[in-house]
Structures are given as structure tokens and as C-alpha cells.
């Protein structure tokens, strides 16, 4: 089929490359010239495992095109996927300005009947709004059907998720349109759920709100464990054996970040305000997460007192491993709080430094490798559990830091290993190994 994808971000690019890989003729449009230039020369502006090789292959075979030209993109598409950003406004509501622009462009440029699928995460009622915008401006002889088709891919494994996702949701009341999309997705052999438009929109928000709730729940439990001398890892292991609970998504840490959970939980809370439904549970989830992101600096102050002029090595900037995305990452909160305390920060990340630099500029230093970041540091904070970070031998901290004090926000190291080294080590929801070591007379 002839498919157009609006937006060459994490969702749009992966969708474009994967649909081209399935044999469709795909045009991906974006408004950022820098991105389109890079893509036309076969380079990916974002990091996603497996993406760049798929882009190169489909670009050179002619299955995939990149453009900034809306006429070229929309005029003869059979299906248009909307994958533009839906960022949050200051009050937590969703900014739909990119959705409005794309809807208007589609209406203006289409020359055929077309199915418009919204992959962007949008509040309930938005697909009806898109339909209304297009209907009011499109040529009267053309038929356009807008479908809610929310995206569930995870950054860091987005290509894998496209081909092996848990489900595909198609929200439309139009049977023929639903079956065309079913045919499109059929080769993936992923369960397809057909719903009405509003339920499809809600499925996305409900999924993200539930996952965020799981994270805040286990983080709150981890703080409890610390206070009562239990180990959150043992607790989650025991918890996960219950089939009604399961083992997934129960890892304690310094909170969720990224471009989805923080934004989507706030959007749902905001929507609740409008329909007179205060979502107390979700409000608590967000508050717990904010607190959790502040834990490393709190622990640092409790351990070494004033952070003024202390050199801090921040290990990890991306909001999670295998991505270069730093949007709403815990690292950004940590940097802000460290700088407020007068600390001097040197950060290391295998991939996310360019994106972090766009936000943090020269307020911190950036190191090309972990050892350089740790050199002469008074304190190290682990913010992202990259393999490059979690497998660093513990004697590296011991040998490079001025004071080997490590605050591990992602519980990267087994406690029994830590106990072998003269490192002051604090983690999340696990017993204090420093006391245990003192008792054994190692310090």
C-alpha cells in the first residue's frame, strides 16, 4: 500500500522503516530540515537498536522516502499515520498544535480517499476533532476516515516491539476501514483488538497510567523496605510469583521518566479535572515519582553533608538504557538539584550526551568514558542502568574516586559484591551494606 507517516520521531521513524520492511511504499514527512537531510542520506537522527540498518536498506531499495513537501507526502496516500508529538503544556494538558497543523495539511493536500490513523497519544475526543477538522476543509468528493491506532512501542526496543508487540488497537466504528487495517497488520501475527474510537484512546492512557502506578507502587514499597530493614529485590521476587501480579515492571529505582509516562499521567489527571473526576490514585503516583527522582541528592546530602564544590560523577543521562532520549529523565532532576547545592557535575552516558547538552548546555561537564567521569569525584550517582555502567568493576570506583561513595539509583550491583570493596554504597530499598561491613571490621 502507499503509506505516509507524519513525524520522523521515535514513533514515526520506526513505523516508517518497519512498514517499508513489510513491503509497503512509505513516505515519511517531517518539518525539521536537519532531520530530513540526515534521513535522506541514510543516517538516523535518533538511536533505536536495528533502526538505522533498516532505514538504509529500504531507502536504497526505494521502499522508503523522506520529504518535507506535504503535496508529495499526502496527495496520493492510501493510509496516513499521524505520529507527531503531543507534548504537555504548563498546566499538564496536552498541546495539540502539531495535530491541528497535520490535520489541516492532510485536508488541504489529499487527492484520494484516505484512512488517517492516529498513532500519537491523544486525549479522548481528539480523533473526533481530527475528523471534524479534515471534514470541514477537504474536497467534498473525497472520503476520509480517522482511526485511533495508539502506539505501544518502548524506546530502546521499538523495532522489536513493532514486529512482536502485545496487541494492536484499532479504534473505529467503520467495519471496512477496520478490516483494511487488519489486513495491513495481519503479517505481524499480533492480536488485534477492534474497539470504538474513544475506548482506543483510553486504552493507551490506561496502559501508561497502570504501568506508572506499578513503578510508583514498587518505589514506595522500596522506601518502606529501607526503613524496616527488608530488601526490595527479595520482596519483588516473592511478589512476582503470584500469577495475578507477575514479575514484570517491578524494579525499584529513582522513578520513571521519558516522553510518555510523565506526560500521559499528567494529561489523564488534567482530563479528570475537566470531567469532575479527581484521580487521587494517579496524583499520588506522580507525587511518589517526583519524590523518587529527588532521592539521590537527598541521600547524598545525608551521607556527605554539604555538596558545595563537591565533584559528582553522574553515570547515565538517558531516561533508560538503549536510548538517547533524555526527556523527563531522572538525570535532569538530579543535575538541577546538584547544581542548586553548588556541586560540580561531570556526566557520562554512552549515547545521550548530545541530547542532554541541548538541555543542560555547559552547566555540567561531559566525559567520554566512565573513568574520566569518576576521576577525583567525591560522589558517584548511577542514574541509568546501561550495560556500560552496571558492569563497571567495583575497583574502578575505588581506584578513581577521591572518596568512593556510590549512590546507585538503579540497584545495578549485587550487595554481596559490594561488601567486598571499601565503597560507601547506597541503593534503593536494599539493606545498608556499609553497616554490615563495619560490623565485619572492614572499615
Q: Of 117, 225, 260, 412, which residue is the catalytic one?
A: 260
Numbers of helices and strands, H then E, in the chain? 20, 14
Strand, coil or helix: 413? coil
- Does the footprint of ligand NAD cover residue 27 (CB under 6 A)? no
x/- string (CB under 6 A) for ligand NAD, residues 126-165?
-------------------------x-x-x----------
Residue 66 or 348: which CB sits closer to ligand NAD? Answer: 66
Question: How far is 233 from 369, CA to CA, in rounded Å?
Answer: 29
Compose the 5-24 pattern: x for residues touching ligand NAD by CB under 6 A, - for all others.
-xxxxxxx------------
222 contacts 292 by C-beta, under 8 angstroms? no
Q: What is the phi-psi region of residue 144: left when phi exceeds 0, alpha when psi lies from -120 to 50, beta otherwise?
A: beta
Q: Is 260 one of the annotated active-site residues of the chain?
A: yes
Closest approach of ligand NAD to the CB of residue 229, in Å: 37
With CB under 6 A as the contact rule, the residue among 25, 101, 344, 359 that binds ligand NAD is: 101
DSSP strand pairing (192-195 vs 168-171) = parallel
Question: Looking at 97-213, which runs of residues are DSSP E strands?
Answer: 114-118, 144-148, 168-171, 192-195
Min CB(296)–ligand NAD separation in Å: 24
Q: Does 117 bind ligand NAD (CB under 6 A)?
A: no
In the complex, what is the shortest distance from the CB of residue 73 to ligand NAD, in angstroms, rounded to a whole number?
A: 8
φ/ψ of residue 224, rounded to 5:
-65, -45
Q: Which CB sits closer to ligand NAD, 211 or 345?
A: 211
| Cβ density class 324-352: b for 16+ within 10 Å, e for less | bbbbbbbbbbbbebbbebebbbbbbbbbb
List the one residue from 58, 63, 121, 172 that touches ligand NAD (CB under 6 A).
Answer: 121
Q: Which of 3, 29, 110, 318 binds ligand NAD (CB under 6 A)?
A: 29
Contact mark string toward ligand NAD, 55..94, x via CB under 6 A? ----------------------------xxxx--------
153 or 314: whose CB is closer to ligand NAD?
A: 153
Q: What residues between 257 and 296 interact with ligand NAD by CB under 6 A?
A: 259-260
Q: Least CB distance from residue 10 to ligand NAD, whole Å? A: 4
Select the residue interacting with ligand NAD from 4, 17, 18, 30 (CB under 6 A).
Answer: 30
Alpha helices in 242-319 (DSSP H): 261-274, 280-293, 295-304
Find the Cα–Cα–Cα–Cα dihedral 354, 355, 361, 365, rounded to 10°. -50
CB 200 within 8 A of CB 149: yes
32 lies in the binding site for ligand NAD (CB under 6 A): yes
Show Cβ contacts of residue 216 under 8 Å, excluding neighbours closer than 6 positions.
255, 256, 284, 285, 286, 288, 289, 292
Return the residues of window 356-375 that contact ligand NAD according to CB under 6 A.
none
Identify which of residues 98 and 348 has a Cβ nearer to ligand NAD in the complex. 98
Cβ closest to ligand NAD, residue 150 vs residue 316:
150
Instruction: Return the number of other C-beta atoms located less than 10 Å from residue 86's C-beta.
Output: 22
Nearer of residues 63 and 86 to ligand NAD, judged by Cβ: 86
What letter does residue 88 receive in the DSSP assignment?
A: B
Report how far residue 71's alpha carbon sits from residue 85's, in angstroms, rounded to the nearest whole number.
Answer: 21
Near ligand NAD in 319-358, by CB under 6 A: none
- Closest to 269 measured CA to CA, from 253, 255, 284, 288: 284
What amino acid positions are annotated as catalytic residues?
A: 260
Site of interaction with ligand NAD (CB under 6 A): 6-12, 29-32, 35, 83-86, 98, 101-102, 119-121, 151, 153, 155, 259-260
Amino acid at each position: 500500500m502507499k503509506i505516509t507517516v507524519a513525524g520522523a520521531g521515535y514513533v514515526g521513524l520506526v513505523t516508517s522503516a518497519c512498514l517499508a520492511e513489510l513491503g509497503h511504499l512509505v513516505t515519511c514527512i517531517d518539518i525539521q530540515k536537519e532531520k530530513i537531510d540526515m534521513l535522506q542520506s541514510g543516517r538516523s537522527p535518533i538511536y533505536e537498536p536495528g533502526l538505522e540498518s533498516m532505514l538504509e536498506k529500504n531507502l536504497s531499495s526505494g521502499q522508503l522516502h523522506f520529504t518535507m513537501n506535504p503535496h508529495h507526502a499526502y496527495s496520493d496516500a492510501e493510509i496516513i499515520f499521524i505520529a507527531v508529538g503531543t507534548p504537555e503544556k504548563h498546566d499538564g494538558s496536552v498541546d495539540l498544535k502539531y495535530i491541528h497543523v497535520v490535520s489541516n495539511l492532510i485536508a488541504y493536500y489529499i487527492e484520494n480517499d484516505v484512512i488517517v490513523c492516529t498513532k500519537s497519544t491523544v486525549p479522548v475526543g481528539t480523533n473526533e476533532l481530527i475528523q471534524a477538522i479534515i471534514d470541514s476543509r477537504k474536497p467534498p468528493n473525497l472520503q476520509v476516515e480517522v482511526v485511533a491506532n495508539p502506539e505501544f512501542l518502548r524506546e530502546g526496543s521499538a523495532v522489536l516491539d513493532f514486529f512482536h508487540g502485545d496487541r494492536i488497537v484499532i479504534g473505529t466504528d467503520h467495519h471496512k476501514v477496520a478490516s483494511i487495517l487488519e489486513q495491513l497488520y495481519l503479517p505481524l501475527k499480533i492480536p488485534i483488538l477492534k474497539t470504538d474510537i474513544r475506548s482506543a484512546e483510553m486504552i493507551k492512557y490506561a496502559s501508561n497510567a497502570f504501568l506508572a502506578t506499578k513503578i510508583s507502587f514498587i518505589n514506595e514499597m522500596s522506601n518502606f523496605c529501607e526503613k524496616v530493614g527488608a530488601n526490595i529485590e527479595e520482596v519483588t521476587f516473592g511478589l512476582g510469583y503470584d500469577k495475578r501480579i507477575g514479575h514484570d515492571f517491578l524494579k525499584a529505582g529513582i522513578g520513571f521518566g521519558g516522553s510518555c509516562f510523565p506526560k500521559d499521567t499528567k494529561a489523564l489527571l488534567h482530563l479528570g479535572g475537566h470531567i469532575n473526576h479527581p484521580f487521587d490514585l494517579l496524583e499520588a503516583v506522580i507525587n511518589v515519582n517526583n519524590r523518587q527522582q529527588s532521592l539521590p541528592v537527598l541521600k547524598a546530602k545525608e551521607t556527605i553533608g554539604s555538596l558545595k564544590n563537591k565533584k559528582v560523577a553522574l553515570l547515565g543521562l538517558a531516561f533508560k538504557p538503549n536510548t538517547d532520549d533524555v526527556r523527563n529523565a531522572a538525570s535532569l532532576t538530579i543535575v538541577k538539584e546538584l547544581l542548586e547545592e553548588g556541586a560540580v557535575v561531570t556526566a557520562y552516558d554512552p549515547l545521550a550526551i548530545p541530547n542532554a547538552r541541548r538541555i543542560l548546555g555547559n552547566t555540567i561537564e561531559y566525559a567520554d568514558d566512565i573513568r574520566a567521569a569518576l576521576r577525583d569525584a567525591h560522589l558517584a550517582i548511577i542514574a541509568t542502568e546501561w550495560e556500560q555502567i552496571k558492569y563497571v568493576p567495583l575497583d574502578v570506583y575505588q581506584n578513581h574516586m577521591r572518596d568512593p561513595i556510590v549512590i546507585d539509583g538503579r540497584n545495578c550491583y549485587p550487595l554481596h559484591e559490594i561488601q567486598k570493596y571499601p565503597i560507601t554504597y547506597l541503593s534503593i530499598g536494599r539493606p545498608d551494606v556499609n553497616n554490615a561491613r563495619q560490623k565485619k571490621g572492614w572499615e
